[in-house]
């Protein structure tokens, strides 16, 4: 009996999710309990009003995550060479932004929507392509920005004359969110080694532990006074190939 009740509840919820509108227009008076939700906008035209009463309320909200029903067209609308675009539809657009890094890399960033957290913490997530990076978690050259990581990278060709030590560690280099770490004191990948970012962010990055043992982790001190730890916990690192901290 329980599974039938759960199935009924699921169907009701699913029907509610698909029963919303992209733009909801209110034209007539309403009363009682009213909860209006739309994906893009709620328009209250002249003639709309709400009469309050004890125990009842009117709410109107926007939910960008609403799943709307899909309408499919029959046949091929582009079969005719004289096909005219239907200008009644809103044009699509891409929120991505291209740029060139200080080292000459082609960069393209596509922002992703994320709900705001508590205490004013707002995740700033985006998909980033960088032509100078290797395989990322989203594919060759692609990474997820906003979820900060320190990852293993190969030493770029242009940096191979910086020091003889680097030539012995071509595949044992680090990058903070795709920004290569440059050794400024200590021995590379040894406990207490201190790094800065190649494209200066004024962060100080310190390596702790023994490389390759699973105990290694990084401490990052940012210019705004924050101290961030990478890999200093059981579930804060991925030790597959490539390795992320």
CA separation for the pair 30, 51 (Å, rounded): 6
Q: What is the pTM of this model?
A: 0.47
CA separation for the pair 193, 173 (Å, rounded): 13
If you write DSSP's letter for every residue of 69-84 in order, what string do you get?
A: PP-PPSS-TTSSTT--
What confidence score (pLDDT) does residue 90 get?
A: 66
Measured between alpha carbons, how far is residue 224 from residues 82, 204, 227 in Å? 59, 11, 9
For the segment 70-80, what is each residue's pLDDT rounded down to a tens digit?
666 666 655 56
What confidence score (pLDDT) does residue 65 get?
A: 74
Mean model confidence pLDDT for the chain: 79
For the segment 192-241, what is each residue's pLDDT rounded down to a tens digit?
999 999 999 999 999 999 888 888 999 999 998 989 999 998 778 876 65
More confident residue, 9 or 151: 151
Name the phi and psi angles at 95, rounded to 5.
-85, 5
Which alpha helices (DSSP H) does 135-186 contain, by range?
164-167
Q: What share of the chain is helix, strand, coil (3-state, %, to 5)?
A: 10, 35, 55
Would you say 35 and 50 are in contact if contact means Cβ atoms under 8 Å apart?
Answer: no
Domain map (residue ranges) of the chain: 21-68, 96-113+123-146, 148-245
Distance from chain centroid for Cα 15:
29
For the segment 123-132, what is each residue's pLDDT rounded down to a tens digit?
788 999 999 8
What confidence score (pLDDT) does residue 33 get?
A: 93
Q: Is 129 exposed, middle or buried (0-12, 13-18, 19+ CB in 10 A)?
A: buried
């Amino acid at each position: 009996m329980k599974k039938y009740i759960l199935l009924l509840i699921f169907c009701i919820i699913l029907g509610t999710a698909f029963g919303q509108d992209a733009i909801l227009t209110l034209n007539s008076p309403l009363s009682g309990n009213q909860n209006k939700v739309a994906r893009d906008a709620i328009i209250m035209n002249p003639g709309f009003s709400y009469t309050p009463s004890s125990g009842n309320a009117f709410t109107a909200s926007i939910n960008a995550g609403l799943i709307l029903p899909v309408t499919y067209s029959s046949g091929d609308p582009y079969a005719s060479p004289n096909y005219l675009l239907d200008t009644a539809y809103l044009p699509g657009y891409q929120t991505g932004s291209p740029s060139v890094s200080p080292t000459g890399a082609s960069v393209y960033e596509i922002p992703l929507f994320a709900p705001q957290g508590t205490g004013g913490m707002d995740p700033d997530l985006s998909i980033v392509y960088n032509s100078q990076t290797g395989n990322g978690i989203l594919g060759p050259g692609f990474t997820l920005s906003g979820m900060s990581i320190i990852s293993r990278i190969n030493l770029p060709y242009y940096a191979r004359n910086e020091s003889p030590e680097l030539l012995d560690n071509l595949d044992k280099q680090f990058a903070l969110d795709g920004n290569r770490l440059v050794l400024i004191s200590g021995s590379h990948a040894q406990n207490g080694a201190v790094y800065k970012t190649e494209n200066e962010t004024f962060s100080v990055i310190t390596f702790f532990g023994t490389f390759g043992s699973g105990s290694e982790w990084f401490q990052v001190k940012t210019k705004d006074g924050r101290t961030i730890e990478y890999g200093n916990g059981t579930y804060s690192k991925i030790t597959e190939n490539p390795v992320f901290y």
